[in-house]
Amino acid sequence: MHKKQVLIGAHMSISGGIENSITAGESIDCTCIQIFTHSNRQWQVKSIKKEEIQRFKEFQKKSNIKIVVVHASYLINIGSPNKETLDKSKATLLMELEHCEQLDIPYLIMHPGAATGSSEEDCLNQISEQLSEIIETTKNKKTIILLENTAGQGSNVGYKFEHLAQIINKNKHKKRLGVCFDTCHAFTAGYDFRTEEEYKIMWMDFDKTIGFENLKVIHMNDSKSNIGSSIDRHENIGEGQLGLEAFRLIMNDKNLLDIPKILETPKGDNWQKDDEKNLNTLIGLIKK
């Protein structure tokens, strides 16, 4: 199977203009890509110029890239007990949703949040409440917010399927919420899916807890750290502690055929070579 027949790609830079992410993705035969719409390490979010929006849409229309998803800023923490952090997080998230709407982006991926002093339970409840408010404020918009499972570093919540389920189930607007499953994060949070039996058990657990219909995107990352370590360090496909078999199972799972699979693997100066290597590894795992 060729790359163009599966929904597969990588995170692309928007350097020099947001439309350049499409050109970059096309250069390595991506059929889906992930982007930031602004600097992911800054609170300040600039508006996207009309001409940039138009160029982005034109570039995508002419490309083989069927789906573009956005990853929200890493600074956002709507579970924070600190009012200043919470206010900044909400404002940034609302601006990012506006960007997604302008660019016709179906999914905005975000890390749920971190307790930073409060209890996990209070943090999870606050995240659900804040998302209810944010979705209510943007009820005329279509973009779905995807909660990404975490590795469980520090006071981050979302490392258990139950956490994500709780946020979604307590929300008043479930249709505007979904899940992005990160392979590295799941593994270092303690989920083992390196054998066919373990793989089936994990997805049964996911379906029972969250609901398989809520899975919208998969981040394809091997892990430098071992299972249960709670350390979030991505590795090239097949070169980490997860190994190739887990990715072979994903790439050949008919239930996941229409789910965009996006790399967030390490990149050096020659990012094209690095991404192509990982994409080709994944494509090579598909049974003929």
- Paired strand residues for 116: 118
Q: Answer yes or no: 233 catalytic.
A: no
Query: Three-state SS across the chain?
Result: CCHHHCCEEEECCCCCCCCHHHHHHHHCCCCEEEECCCCCCCCCCCCCCHHHHHHHHHHHHHCCCCEEEEECCCCCCCCCCCHHHHHHHHHHHHHHHHHHHHCCCCEEEECCCECECECHHHHHHHHHHHHHHHHHHCCCCCCEEEEECCCCCCCECCCCHHHHHHHHHCCCCHHHEEEEEEHHHHHHCCCCCCCHHHHHHHHHHHHHHCCHHHEEEEEECEECCCCCCCCCCEECCCCCCCCHHHHHHHHCCHHHCCCCEEECCCCCCCHHHHHHHHHHHHHHCCCC
Please name the amino acid found at residue 106: P
Catalytic residue, from 38, 99, 111, 176: name it: 111
Q: Answer yes or no: 219 catalytic.
A: yes
Q: Answer yes or no: 38 catalytic.
A: no
- The string of pLDDT tens digits covering residues 221-251 is 999 999 999 999 999 999 999 999 999 999 9
- The string of pLDDT tens digits covering residues 183-197 is 999 999 999 999 999
Task: Give the residues of the chain that fall short of pLDDT 50.
Answer: 1, 3
Beta-strand pair 215-220/261-263: parallel
Q: Answer yes or no: 11 catalytic.
A: no
Q: Answer yes or no: 264 catalytic.
A: yes
Catalytic residue, from 38, 99, 163, 185: name it: 185
Catalytic residue, from 234, 235, 248, 275: name it: 234
Catalytic residue, from 19, 232, 235, 275: name it: 232
Give the pLDDT score at 157: 98
Catalytic residue, from 99, 163, 194, 219: name it: 219
- Rounded to two decimals, the pTM is 0.96
